[in-house]
Structures are given as structure tokens and as C-alpha cells.
Chain A
């Protein structure tokens, strides 16, 4: 054991004399841990809150019966209430209602209204019972009364006795706030009405969304579920609360994992900084460590001392990271919401909970990765023989231990192999591993590549023409490529990740813009101010819209959720007129569509999104039997189209087929083509003049595109933030590496001063070295970053989100980033050289350090 006092002296002495390197290392780990912990806290808060809120709507039921479509006939209710084994059945109609009064200040202001049978709810969902005012017990059955949760009252700024106006589709409904709820889930915005009143007031006569079942004691729920499922047929779905939890997790899983990976990238960059910092530190202290060996410290004591240094940096960084992570999570929930702008968790107000287990895990991850980063240099320093290490100039021999071309080749090769492997459990695990291997392989190959590149540059440059400084700079970079590669690693990691993210985001954004151009062929689009509205527009309302002056043609679109698999979120069924001979007019098909002549009679043509291929295994030409309306239908997949709007899958069919099969003639959206010369404002004014005009959201195609791109940017806001952090950490690493390197070379500068170089010439030489090194790092980073972006674009994205995109390189942005990194590298080299050369470098030649 090293005496504790000596351990403390050595630690404090090292940190005191190299504050910048210590601060950078701690900061890198802090940021990595903070980001990971932030994302974990936000996701946990959002998912658990959403799950709890969803569970509270089912109350004490054992089983929930739903249809594959969003509503079903209420005649099923008496049948189930009498079904053997059922103790009680509670029918529920769920309405997503808009609040027109908030539409001007808020995007998609909606809340959920539950139509319930009060008598059944007493035992099944007692928490959701309305509490009427004193003396008005019959309000629970009144057709104009609604009972609101505290969160809904606060959100709507109303109290008992006030009146609210809500809307569904083009219909507006006035309701009286009759009271609160017995015990709603905190933060959940819901309202409860009598079920009959809800069906009548919201135009859903005889329709239910679900039936909650309480089974008789002793009934085996699994066996009952299987038997009832068979009796009801494929049009109905039976779920338990665990199914809902699983679905909620699935909904946001890919998004969550991608964010976590980005946080881990920051942590990886931090670990690399620790590694390079410790390598440079042990090089600088090589003879000091050898002296400690001479004085009697054992190898184990040296190893323990160096690992302790790394571990303490990790502990400090991790603790700060946890604190910062908590603050960031609180801020993100407050300003961006639970879904960080991605739209996965509407209607919940999640609260932040400090998860001790997760905190310990992230702490261990941060500290562990730091120790790992310091392990190789510590091991090398401990096993070095002290006698040669005491001599000046032996520093570079340590770097030979870091020359691992075989490891580089194996990592790069394995990375390539991993790109060909399929997803694991719908996640691009091998894609991510391939990225990690490419990064490690490239870093490991750097000393070799760096030596090769600068040796070539050195041979090409003619000392007579380029002068002594260029010759000195290129020769050193060529001959001490191991040391150069350490600094270069920081540039390579940060710049390649910047490039990869920039290419991926640009490819996605441009592909989205192209896609919007194809899926929005009309001049004007309109829909209800409420998103995911089920009622939409009635046939009369559609006719009124179509007959406005200036409207040349209208395509009505029906959009409804359909559940095909209980373990997966609902897909979207889109019904609209599609030209069978040329579906590509409105659908961005990804391959050849089945010719209309090849569609077998008796089958219904559908076009599926790419997600359906991955998630359900459907292919062009497949015949699929699906529950539809109250029976099953045979569909044929005519083509596959790219859909950036719905990651859980979408299916397009002819509107005429849909109406024929379901009898539902409502429409959710409308695409309007205007007569030539007709101004948008004229038509918009005419539409707004309709009796239901206030409920319409009317947008020109250009505005729809702009809004979609804004939404894209909002979704990627966190990605941009994480990218900036990764860049910041990388640049800090460049600064720290250059700074540490110049300190290790102080004797060299002293010698150069002795042979006649001025301080200014040394600054210039080092700035040139920094620029050359930065330039090579940028070149290598660009190649590596492009490789990583290919994995992100063609493997990670399709496997995570089930959509493909075209590769686009944002040359201008890449050029700006390259110049910024080059300038940062040259500047940090210059500043570090000033710091190093400003001291008594001449004396450094005489002394050993």
C-alpha cells in the first residue's frame, strides 16, 4: 500500500500543476454522464407517467375489449355483460376533444373525454367518478355535464359551474363543468361524461371504444382471454394492462435508444479524452514515475496511483454529471416536454423522480469508463524499467505500445461484417456496434496512417523551397507519429461524429422535403384543428367544402387508427382516391408497383408503408387477410411507399373501397386543387365562412411543407444539442491534447532556442504542426464520418424507424465545420505553444524536467 499521505501529495501535486487537463477530463466525463442521465430521467418520467395515466383509465378491470378499428357497435356490451365468467362489464367511449379557445395560442389543444356508465364505473373505475355539486346528484347523468380532472380544470382555466366549448371534427359542443373527479391521476387532463350523453353530443350513436371486464373470482384470466378471443373473432382485441405498457415502451423505444446512443457517444469521446490525457500525462511524467520506482514504489503502487488519478477524475466527473443531468432533465421537461418535441407522450405532465439505481449505474459507467481510459497508459508506465525511463528522450518508446495495427485491422473488418447483420429485436444493435468498431479501429490505425501521410509529405516538401520551419514540422510529425496520433485522435473522433451526424440529418431533411413534394400534390390542404380527430367531416360538410367557388377538385382522405398486433402500436389506415394505373402520382413508391391488371378479382388493393414490411413482414404481391369492419377481408399489397409521418406503419386504400366496406363516409382531411388564377385567400375565406369554418385548419402546400420541416427540426432539437456537446467535448480534447503535448516537448523547444530559433518561429512551427495535424484529422475524420453516416442512413435509421432515405452530403456545412475545426486546432496549438515557450525553456535543456 502506498502511504495515504504520499498518494495525496502526488495527486494534488499533479492536479495543481496541470489544472487545465484535469478540468477538461472531468468536464468530458461530466457531460457524458449528464447527457445519459438526463435522457434516462426524462424517458423514465415520460414512459412511467404515460403508463400510469393509461392504467388509471382501466381502473380495476382484468381485461379490456377493443376492436381493431377505433370504435365498435355497442351491441357487444350486453353480450359481454352476460358472458359466463364475467362479473361486471363497463362500456366506455373515448373522445379526443379539441378546445377551440386555445387553438390560437397552442398547437393541437386536445384532451380526452371519457363517456362512462356511472353505475358500472362505481366498482370498476371509482377514481374516475364525477363528483357533482351539492344538491345536484343527477348531473352525473345530465347530457350537458362534464366532470374534469384538476389538471384539466387548471389547463382550461375553469371551475365548477363554468361552461366550456369543445370540438370534434367540425362539430362544436357546449358543456357545463358539473364538478371534479373522485381521484384523477396527477397531471392527467381528462373529462368524464355520461356515456349516452357523450355518444349523442359527439355524433357517435351506438358506438363504444372499449369495454372493461371484471372477471368472477376463480376464473383463469389467460384461459378466459383465449376463449373469449376465439368467440369474438379477429375483429376484436383483448388486452391486459401489461400489453398497454409494452406498447407504450415500443412506441418510443427506438427514439429513446437513439438518444441514449448519442449520450454514450459523448461519454465515449470523454473516455477517449481521458485515455489521451493519461497517455500524454504518463509520457510527460515518465522519468518522475521511474524515480518513484527508484525510491521504492512498487509496480503495483504505481499502477494503483495512476488508476486512482483516473478514478478520482471519473468519480468527480460522474457526481457532477449526475447533478447536472438532474438539472438538465428538469429543464428539458419544463421547456420541451416529456417527449422532447417528438410527440410520443401527449396529455401527460410527467414529474421527475430521482432513480437511485439508475444514478448508481450511471455513476459506475462514468467512473468505470474513466478507469478504462487510464488503464493502458497506467499499465505501460508501471511495467516500464526505471533505468531507461530516467533518461531523456525515452518518452516516445512508450508510444510503440500503442501501435496496434492488427487490432485496427480486426476492428475495421469486424465493423464491416457487422454492417451486414440484421437487427436484434427490431433494434440496430449491430449497426451501433459497427460504428463503435469503426471508431476504435480508426483510432488504432492512426499512428500508422499518420506516420505514412507525414512521411510522404516530408518527402514531397523541398527544404530549400519550404524553409526550415516546414521541414521541422513535417519531419517531426513523420518521425513522432505516435505522439501526433494521440492529439489527432481527439480531432478524428469529434470531427467524424460531426460529419456523420451532419450527413445523416441533411440526408433525412432533404429526403423529407422531397417526400413532402410528392405526397402533397394539391394546392391546399385542410383538416380539423384537432389532430387524430375521429369524427372528421360528415358527407354534408364535405359537399359544402367541395362546392366553394374556386375549388376545382377535392380529394377527401379518411385517416383512422387500426390495431393489427396487440404488441405493437396501432397503424394508420389512410383511405383516399388513388389512381390504380399511376399510384406514384401521390405515393412515393420505393419499388415497382403491381400493375392494375395483375390485381386478382375479389381482393382489395392496398399500398403499405416501408414500416409494414419490417414490422409485419408484408411484401408487394402478398395476399393478406385482415379483420375489417365487422368481418375479415382479403387485401393484396400493390406497392410499398415511403412514409416519414408514421413510424409504426401505414396502409393506403381506395376511399371507395373503404366506404363500401365500413359504411363510414366521414373524412379526416381534404386536398383541394384550385381553378387557375384563384387566390388561396379567396378560397380560405370562403371555407372559413362555412358554418363549421372555424374548426378548419386551412394551409397552402408551401406552409404544410414548412410546418413539417419545422416539426422535423423540433424533433431533432435534442440531437442537435447532443451533437454540439460532442463537438464541444472533442474541441476541448484537441485543446487539452495540444497543450499537454507542448508541455512534454518543453526541452525540445529549449534546444531549438539554443540553436537559434526565435520564440516567434517556434510559435509558427507549432501552429503549422497544429494546422497540418488538424488538416489530416479533418481528412481522416471526413472519411470515417462518411462511413459512419452510411451506417446511420442505410442501417440504423431503416432498422430503428423503418424508413429509408437518400444520401445527401451538405458540402457547405461540412466545409464550415472543417474550417472551424482547423481554425480551432491551429489556435489551440498556437495558444499552447505560447504557454509552453513563455516559460524558461532554455533552462529546460539543462534540467531533466
Chain B
């Protein structure tokens, strides 16, 4: 069993946490996104599904500021995000938490150090890290190194790292793609519980219907739009 840390974000309102305006992105003469617009409400947990190559990961990278759109604009809590400037880096550091399919933990750092990274970068108290590790069920393993962990445990570390600095928006790109069914289910519930407990918003990109089912809302993506899934689609 793992516990959930409760915290609230002061001044949270129902204004959109994320706004996409007319986004366009082309890779090597291939138009991936074109005129895509959408608003995500604060506190929402949204799953995005769609065919392979439709641009789901690209969209997530643009939202995270890891790549810049060729056209259009992204606003997080009203602040404009651009991949190229230092302000975007600050914004990303403060507001976003990212969970990857491939875990991405630093192999030369202990679990505690890995989870402490966002705290250090945001100059927040480090004592949140052990509590967060405990919250994901890894209490007592603080000084272990990543190579001592299983895939599921590594993803727990990634979840702890994504949440430890209490970001407003969690972005998760196929977070269970490398995990077996049971572990995947466990991780998804962990993510959902933590997000809901902390009042954060989340966007999860996935091919897995089971994973998408854990979200409040499912959006189907094509090049131009994000459309709520119909009830048939949901079933």
C-alpha cells in the first residue's frame, strides 16, 4: 500500500490551465499538426488517443516546451510558452511534471537524488522527496540506484519525480508502455490518485484503452483537432 500526499494549489481557479491556439508543426515536409486548438480546464485528467503518427507525442513535446511549434501559440495558466527562451525553461521547471514511457531516471544518482532533482531546480525544501518516495511505495529504498530496480519500480520513481514539486500540469507519454498489465494498472492508479489528491491537471497520451479509461475525459486526436470520444468510442 502507498499513501497519498494531500496538497492544494493556492489560488487555483477554473480558468483553463492550458490553451492551444492554432498549432502547426511540420517535420521533414510532413505536416504533423495543422491549426490545432483546444483548452484544458484546471483539475482535469485527460487521456489523448489516436492513430500512430498522428502527432500525439509531438503535441506533448510542444506543450512541454521541448520543441517549438511552427505556428500557433501555447499558454499555460495564461503565460505564453516558447521552447527557445529561458522563460519557457523556468515555466517548465515550475508548472510541469513529465512522465515518460522509458522512465528516464539518471543511473548515476540514487532514487532519493533522482526524485530531489525538481526540488533542487525549483529551490524547494528537499524533505518532500523521501515523503514522495514513500507515497509511491519505495520507502526504505532511498539510497538504492536505478539499476537495482525493476521496470515498475523505475516508473514509480519517475512518477514521484514528476509530482514532487507539485506541478500544475502533469504530462505523461505512454507511461505504461513498457510495463506488464498488472504493474501498468497499479501505476495508472498511482498517477490518478496523486493527481486528484493534489488538485493538479494531467494529460496522458496512450494507445491503451485501459490506460485511457482511468482518465476523466478521453480525446481522440487527428492532425487538426482533439475531439471528445463518443460513448461508443469509450466502450
Task: Identify the A interface with B (CB < 8 A).
Answer: 2-3, 5-6, 9-10, 13-14, 16-17, 287-288, 291-300, 385-387, 390, 392, 846-849
Binds A, one of B2-10, B48-56, B91-99, B190-198: B91-99
Report B-chain residues with C-beta under 8 Å of the C-beta of A296.
89-90, 92-94, 118, 121-122
Q: Is B86 an interface residue (CB 8 A)?
A: yes
Report A-chain residues with C-beta under 8 Å of the C-beta of B117.
6, 292, 295
Q: Count contacts on B: residues with CB < 8 A to the other chain.
A: 31
Report B-chain residues with C-beta under 8 Å of the C-beta of A298.
86, 89
Measured CB to CB, the closest approach of chain B to A642, in angstroms, equals 61
Most buried by A among B98, B107, B120, B161: B120
Q: A3-B120, A5-B120, A296-B94 are in contact. Are A848 and B108 (CB under 8 A)?
A: no
Report B-chain residues with C-beta under 8 Å of the C-beta of A287.
104
Measured CB to CB, the closest approach of chain B to A303, in angstroms, equals 13
Q: A9-B109, A17-B108, A298-B86 are in contact. Are A3 and B66 (CB under 8 A)?
A: no
Complex formed: what's the CA distance from A13 to B104 in Å? 16
Report A-chain residues with C-beta under 8 Å of the C-beta of B118.
295-296
Q: Is B100 an interface residue (CB 8 A)?
A: yes
Measured CB to CB, the closest approach of chain A to B20, in angstroms, equals 17
Main secondary structure of the interface of A (DSSP, over half): helix
Whose C-beta in chain B lies nearest to the C-beta of A7?
A: B120
Whose C-beta in chain A lies nearest to the C-beta of B61?
A: A387
Report whether A848 and B89 are in contact in the complex, using a CB–CB cutoff of 8 Å: no
Report whether A846 and B151 are in contact in the complex, using a CB–CB cutoff of 8 Å: yes
Complex formed: what's the CA distance from A848 to B100 in Å? 10
Whose C-beta in chain A lies nearest to the C-beta of B147?
A: A840
Whose C-beta in chain B lies nearest to the C-beta of A300?
A: B86
Complex formed: what's the CA distance from A846 to B86 in Å? 34
Q: Is B123 an interface residue (CB 8 A)?
A: yes
Q: A294-B66, A296-B122 are in contact. Are A848 and B86 (CB under 8 A)?
A: no
Report B-chain residues with C-beta under 8 Å of the C-beta of A17.
107-108
Report A-chain residues with C-beta under 8 Å of the C-beta of B104.
287-288, 291, 294, 390, 848
Report whether A295 and B66 are in contact in the complex, using a CB–CB cutoff of 8 Å: no
Report whether B98 and A294 are in contact in the complex, using a CB–CB cutoff of 8 Å: yes
Can you list 13 pairs linking A and B with CB atoms under 8 Å apart?
A2-B121, A9-B113, A10-B109, A14-B108, A295-B92, A295-B98, A296-B94, A298-B89, A385-B66, A385-B67, A387-B64, A387-B66, A847-B151
Q: A296-B92, A387-B67 are in contact. Are A13 and B108 (CB under 8 A)?
A: yes
Report B-chain residues with C-beta under 8 Å of the C-beta of A385.
66-67, 83
Report whether B89 and A297 are in contact in the complex, using a CB–CB cutoff of 8 Å: yes
Partner of B64, one of A9, A294, A299, A849: A294
Report whether B122 and A13 are in contact in the complex, using a CB–CB cutoff of 8 Å: no
Report B-chain residues with C-beta under 8 Å of the C-beta of A291.
104, 106
Report A-chain residues with C-beta under 8 Å of the C-beta of B102.
390, 392, 847-848
CB within 8 Å: A-B pair count: 81
Whose C-beta in chain A lies nearest to the C-beta of B100?
A: A390
Measured CB to CB, the closest approach of chain A to B16, in angstroms, equals 22
Complex formed: what's the CA distance from A848 to B173 in Å? 14
Task: Identify the B interface with A (CB < 8 A).
Answer: 61, 64, 66-67, 83, 86, 89-90, 92-94, 98, 100, 102-104, 106-109, 113, 117-118, 120-123, 151, 154, 161, 178
Report whether A847 and B103 are in contact in the complex, using a CB–CB cutoff of 8 Å: yes
Q: A294-B98, A385-B66, A385-B83 are in contact. Are A848 and B121 (CB under 8 A)?
A: no
Whose C-beta in chain A lies nearest to the C-beta of B102?
A: A848
Report A-chain residues with C-beta under 8 Å of the C-beta of B108.
10, 13-14, 16-17
Complex formed: what's the CA distance from A294 to B123 in Å? 16
Report A-chain residues with C-beta under 8 Å of the C-beta of B113.
9, 13
Report whether A3 and B93 are in contact in the complex, using a CB–CB cutoff of 8 Å: no
Partner of B121, one of A288, A297, A386: A297
Measured CB to CB, the closest approach of chain B to A1, in angstroms, equals 10
Report whether A3 and B106 are in contact in the complex, using a CB–CB cutoff of 8 Å: no
Measured CB to CB, the closest approach of chain A to B29, in angstroms, equals 17
Complex formed: what's the CA distance from A3 to B113 in Å? 13
Measured CB to CB, the closest approach of chain A to B224, in angstroms, equals 21
Report whether B178 and A846 are in contact in the complex, using a CB–CB cutoff of 8 Å: yes
Complex formed: what's the CA distance from A788 to B120 in Å? 52
Measured CB to CB, the closest approach of chain B to A748, in angstroms, equals 16
Partner of B123, one of A3, A300, A386, A849: A3
Report B-chain residues with C-beta under 8 Å of the C-beta of A9.
109, 113
Complex formed: what's the CA distance from A385 to B104 in Å? 16
Measured CB to CB, the closest approach of chain A to B205, in angstroms, equals 13
Complex formed: what's the CA distance from A295 to B122 in Å? 10
Complex formed: what's the CA distance from A17 to B123 in Å? 26
Whose C-beta in chain B lies nearest to the C-beta of A291?
A: B104
Measured CB to CB, the closest approach of chain B to A13, in angstroms, equals 3
By Cβ-Cβ distance, the 5 closest A-B pairs, closest first, are: A296-B93, A13-B108, A848-B102, A387-B66, A387-B61
Complex formed: what's the CA distance from A106 to B102 in Å? 74
Most buried by B among A13, A14, A17, A387: A387
Report B-chain residues with C-beta under 8 Å of the C-beta of A294.
64, 66, 92, 98, 104
Report B-chain residues with C-beta under 8 Å of the C-beta of A13.
106, 108-109, 113
Complex formed: what's the CA distance from A2 to B113 in Å? 15
Complex formed: what's the CA distance from A85 to B188 in Å? 104
Report A-chain residues with C-beta under 8 Å of the C-beta of B98.
294-295
Report whether B121 and A295 are in contact in the complex, using a CB–CB cutoff of 8 Å: yes
Measured CB to CB, the closest approach of chain B to A846, in angstroms, equals 7
Whose C-beta in chain B lies nearest to the C-beta of A13?
A: B108
Complex formed: what's the CA distance from A386 to B104 in Å? 12
Report B-chain residues with C-beta under 8 Å of the C-beta of A16.
108
Report A-chain residues with C-beta under 8 Å of the C-beta of B151.
846-847
Report A-chain residues with C-beta under 8 Å of the C-beta of B154.
847
Report B-chain residues with C-beta under 8 Å of the C-beta of A6.
117, 120-121
Whose C-beta in chain B lies nearest to the C-beta of A296?
A: B93
Report B-chain residues with C-beta under 8 Å of the C-beta of A386.
66
Report B-chain residues with C-beta under 8 Å of the C-beta of A10.
106, 108-109
Known: A296-B94, A846-B178. 14 other contacts (CB 8 A): A3-B120, A13-B108, A14-B108, A288-B107, A291-B104, A294-B92, A296-B122, A385-B66, A385-B67, A385-B83, A387-B64, A387-B67, A390-B100, A848-B103
Complex formed: what's the CA distance from A847 to B122 in Å? 28
